[in-house]
Amino acid sequence: MSAVVYLAAGVLALSSALLFRRPRTAVRNPLTVSTCVAILLGAVVFACSAPMTLSAVNSLTGIPNFGAPLTYGMLTAYSCSLLILLINWRGGPPDLVRRTVLRSIAVYGPLVVAVVVLFALADAPVERLTDLDTYYANTPYMREMILLYLLGHTAVIVATSVVCVRWGREVTGLLRTGLRLIVVGALLDLVGFQMTKYTAITARWTGHDLDFLSTTVAPPMASLAALVCSAGFVLPRLVPAAGAHWQGLRDHRRLGPLWSRVRFVSTAPKPPASWWRLPDERLHWREVAIHDALLALAPYFDDKVREGARAAALREGRTGHEARVASEAAMLAEAARRAAAREEPQAKPSTYRMHATEVSGAGGLVELAQALARTPASDTAREGTVKVFPV
């Protein structure tokens, strides 16, 4: 069972790391912080609840079952963090959000203390690594401690489910998908973990033995529920970012034909050593460098080349926009050839503005790059060897 629990803890920790990939900006965002804290606490709970961890904690402290209040206290803190995460995610007036967060802490903080105090008052000399809840179900103070952590967790899961169901009716897209995943995870937790625990404990109270529900059914269901809930919290935030990164990588690659033609003339500063880590930074630097190169090549632009290429493209049946981009690609290719050959620029510089410089984003440059890929290349000089003339 330890392997399954550790795996769940690892997946949760990885999810938290992905969200916290930019620490400087993440710490200023309460939603990111609360999401990372909640998921990280979930990972800690799973790591603490593994039999191997419990045995190690008990041995290090010399107190039988000391891992129980540690795990249950962390679970209670995790429940509170889920509530705070939901409050920050739902949003609202900052003062109201702050007050609601403080109220949640005011309720669950004493609950954590009560778990520790009840364990200290109880008599639990026999170490139980997998069936503590049922073994001590009738033991004074231990009984109350077990019920207290379960009730605290149940209250949060029920509240989370209600809020997510109501909120899901008001939103669409990825946010609605995330809320539905949270509801599914909450139901798995409620039915697969909590109800099995309650049933096994109640069976002990009535003299029956249904311990397998607590020891065999509940742990994997808790792991599955936590993973599904975490996916619901994380996906609406990671998917758009992942999509943006993928688009950045794609645009960066598609700009390759254009960059290979003009890189020898660009004087844009080199990116920092860690620039490769983020696709949007790679794309931004390439856009800046290309625009810098286009500015340097502007004195070589020949309107006659452009107009001839545009007329040829129109005769081929291309649309006006396609003909314009094709003509600009031909003009740029000729300008790059002349600059690389160290020829003199145009006696009367062109005042023409390229489509790629008129639109924001990488779209215009990508169009130019793809058109340039179909234009025959010529030899170019080494990077930085071209004399740049004032525009």
CATH topology of domain 2-244: Rhopdopsin 7-helix transmembrane proteins (1.20.1070)
pLDDT above 70 as % of the chain = 86
pTM beyond cutoff 0.75: no
Residues 35-78: tens digit of each pLDDT: 878 888 888 888 888 888 899 999 999 999 999 999 999 999 98
Task: Give the pLDDT band of residue 121 (cuts 50, 70, 90).
Answer: very high
Contact 236, 354 (CB under 8 A): no
Residue limits of CATH 1.20.1070 in the chain:
2-244
Rounded CA separation 368/359 (Å)? 12
Quote the pLDDT of residue 17. 60
Task: Give the pLDDT band of residue 191 (cuts 50, 70, 90).
Answer: very high
Region of residue 311 (phi > 0: left; psi between -120 and 50: alpha; otherwise: beta): alpha
Quote the pLDDT of residue 384. 43
Quote the pLDDT of residue 388. 42
**CA-to-CA dists, residue 160 to 84, 186, 189, angstroms:** 10, 8, 12
* Residue showing tokens 């509240």: 159
pLDDT above 90 (res 266): no
Least confident of 9-13, 155-159, 205-209, 245-249: 9-13
Quote the pLDDT of residue 382. 41
